[in-house]
A and B are shown apart, each in its own frame.
Chain A
Amino acid sequence: MQPCSREMQAMNSLQDLQINVHTPHADFLEQMLSTTSFPASSSSSSWSDLNPQDNNAAAAAGFHHHEILASNLRQQQQINGGHDSNPFQAMKMMMQQQQQQQQMMVAGFGRATVAATAAAGVGTHQGGGEGSMQALFNSLGYGSLHQPQASFGSDSTPEVNHSQVPTAAAATPGKPKQKVRARRGQATDPHSIAERLRRVRIAERMKSLQELVPNANKTDKASMLDEIIDYVKFLQLQVKVLSMSRLGGAAAVAPLVTDMPFEGGGDCFQTSGNGGSLPRNSNGNRTPSDNESLTVSEHQVAKLMEEDMGSAMQYLQGKGLCLMPISLATAISTATCHSRNPMVSNVNTNSTGVNVSHLLLQSSGGDGSSSPSLSALTVQSATMGNGGVDGAASVSKPLD
C-alpha cells in the first residue's frame, strides 16, 4: 500500500527526531530544525493523501492519545504564549508519545492533532472557544477533516490541513529562542483530559439528541438544549392533552370492560355480525407445540364468549389479557387504516420475570363477507430474556 510506505517513511523521520530529542538542549534546536524540514518536504504530500484516510482511522482508535496530545499542546500554547512554537512542540509531543501507541496511527494523529490544536490555539487566541472545540471535533474524524471554523490570521496556520509541517519548519528558524519545556507526563493533569473527554462525549450525545428532536439546527449547544427542553415539554403536554381527549373515546372503550354483557355490544361488537358464531374455532395449522396451551385458552375464551362476554373478559383478564380490535392493533403497528372490524385479544403474561407476550388476533369480517371468518395470528416471543420462551411462532388460523 502506497500510503503505508509513505507513512513508514514519515515514521522513520519522526523516529529520527525522537532520537534527537534526548540530546542536550544546545544541539536540540538545530537537529530539530534540520530534521523537521526533512519530513516536511518528503511527506507533506503523503500526509495530505493520508489525511482523509487517517481521519477515519484516527477516529477509530487511539482516542486517548489524541486527547492527551491535544491537552499537551493546549497547555503548551498557554504557557509559551506563542502559537508559532506550537508546531515545534507538537512535533516533540508526537515523538514522545510515539512509542506508546501504534505507529501507524500516530502520523495521522500527529497531523490531525497538530492541525487541530494549532487551529485550537488560534481559536483561543481569538477568544473563540467554540473554534477550538470545533477543531477538536473535526480532527476526531467525523468523516473528514474540515477546515476549522475560526479564521486564522496567524502565519503558521493558513493551510492547516496540508502544510502544517512545512510552515512549522519555516516558522521555527525564525524563533531560535524556544522554551523547551519537556512536559512529559501530561497525565499529571488529569482534570483537563477528563474534562475534555467529558465534553466530547457530551457533544456526541447532543448530536444523537439532535436527530431525535425535529428542529435540528445545531448552531450551538445552548440553543440545542433549549430545543430539547421545549420538545420534551411539548411531548409531555401532548400526553396530557391526549389523555384528556380520551375521555370521549373512553366511552367506546366501555365494551371492552369486563362486566359488559355481550349483548350490550359496543361498536366493536355491533359490526361484528354474527357474534354468536365467534366461538366456532377450528384448529388450523398450529405448528409449535407450545401453542397448544394457547389453543386451549382460546377455546375456553371462545366458549365463554358464547355464553357471556363478561365472564370471557374476566377469564382473559385473569390471564392478563386484554381485548382490542384488530384494526386498532394494525393501526398501532402501522399507519394504515383498517378495512375489517375484527376482534383482537392481546395476551401479555408477566410471569416471574419472563415477559412473554402473545398476540392473538381474532378477526371476524362483518363487512361484506357472508360468513364470518376468524383468523388467528399467534406470535409468541420472549421479551425479557430470563432464559424464557424462545423464538417466535406465528400461526395463521383461518376459520369458517
Chain B
Amino acid sequence: MNKYNPPRMNPSSLRSRFATRFLRSLSEINAQKPTASSSSPTEIFRRYRRIKVAADKSMAYSVRSRRTWSRAMLWKLRTRPCGRRSVKTSTIVRKTRHEKQNKNTTTATTTGEDGVVSGVEADELRELVPGGEAMDLYNLLDETAHYIKCLTTQVQVMKKIADFYSP
C-alpha cells in the first residue's frame, strides 16, 4: 500500500485560510458562469472583477475583524455592490469615532526634527491601505505592515494556483 503523506499545511495559518476561501469562491464563480463564451471583453472584465473581489474578500475574511484594514475592506465590499444598501449603524459609528480620533491627534506634516515630511507620504499610504484614512501615522504603519504581509500571502497563493492550472 502506498502511504503518501503530503507535507502538512498548518491549517490555521493565514495562507491556508486564504487558500481555502479563495478556492471556494473561485469554484462558486465558475458555477455562476454560464456556459456561454467569455470572450467578450465586458464579460472578461466582469469576471476579472469578480475574481478580484473574491480574492480581496477571502483575504479580508481570513483576517476577520482583527485588523482595521480588514474591517474597512469588508465594509467596503459589503456596501459597494448595492450603492443604496443601508449601512450598518455600528460601522458608521465606528468610523466617526475613528475620525474624531483622527482630528484629535496631530497628524500635521512633521517636518521638524525628524527631517522627514511624513505628511504627504502618510496621506498617500492612507489611500492605499483600506481604512487608513482614520488612523494616525503610528497605527497606520502597523496596519501597513500587516497589510503587506497579507498581500504577499495572497499573491503567493494566487500565483501557485495560476501556475497549477494554466499549463
Point out residues on A near B: beta carbons under 8 Å: 124, 128-130, 132-133, 198-199, 201-202, 205-206, 208-209, 212-213, 220-222, 225-226, 228-229, 231-233, 235-236, 238-240, 242-250, 252-254, 256-259, 267, 317, 320, 322-334, 336, 340, 342, 346, 348, 355, 357-359, 361, 363, 365, 369, 373, 375, 377, 379-384, 392, 394, 396, 398-400
Contact = CB atoms under 8 A, between A and B. Distances in A.
Contacts of B149: 212
Contacts of B128: 229, 232-233, 236
A133 B115 contact: yes
A228 B125 contact: yes
B97 interface: no
Contact of A226 (B121, B144, B155): B121
A332 B15 contact: yes
Contacts of A252: 165-166
Q: Which of A220, A243, A369, A381 has the most CB of B within 10 A?
A: A243
A108 B1 CA distance: 67
A243 B57 CA distance: 13
A383 B11 contact: yes
Interface string B24-64: 10110111000000100000100110011001100000001
B89 to A, nearest CB: 22
Contact of B16 (A213, A249, A332): A332
Contact of A212 (B5, B23, B52, B148): B148
B93 interface: no
Interface string B52-82: 1001100000001000000000000000000
Contact of B4 (A243, A365, A394): A365
Nearest to B151: A235
B31 A232 contact: no
Contact of A129 (B9, B112, B117): B112
Contacts of B137: 202
Nearest to B44: A247
Q: Which of A130, A238, A373 has the most CB of B within 10 A?
A: A238
A222 B121 contact: yes
A394 B8 contact: yes
B23 to A, nearest CB: 5
Interface residues of B, number: 71
Contact of B24 (A133, A245, A254, A348): A348
Contacts of B2: 365, 369, 373, 375, 398
A209 to B, nearest CB: 5
Contacts of A336: 7
B4 A342 contact: yes
A198 B4 contact: no
Given A202-B138, A257-B30, 19 more contacts: A201-B138, A206-B141, A208-B145, A212-B145, A235-B151, A236-B128, A239-B56, A242-B159, A244-B48, A247-B48, A257-B31, A329-B6, A332-B9, A336-B7, A346-B20, A348-B20, A375-B3, A381-B11, A398-B1
A316 to B, nearest CB: 10
A243 B12 contact: no
A226 B125 CA distance: 9
B84 interface: no
B132 to A, nearest CB: 10
Contact of A249 (B116, B141, B156, B166): B166
A124 B165 CA distance: 60
Contact of B162 (A242, A259, A383): A242
Interface in B99-121: 112-118, 121
Given A235-B148, A245-B166, A379 B161 contact: no
A209 B145 contact: yes
B31 A259 contact: yes
Contact of B151 (A239, A257, A327): A239
Closest 8 CB pairs of A and B: A249-B165, A221-B116, A333-B9, A225-B121, A205-B141, A235-B151, A129-B113, A383-B12
Nearest to B156: A332
B148 A359 contact: no
Given A244-B48, A249-B165, A363 B125 contact: no
Contacts of A358: 11
Contact of A228 (B4, B21, B144): B144
Contacts of A244: 48, 51
Contacts of A325: 164
A388 to B, nearest CB: 11
Given A225-B118, A239-B151, A322 B24 contact: yes
Given A232-B128, A243-B52, A333-B15, A222 B6 contact: no
B129 interface: yes
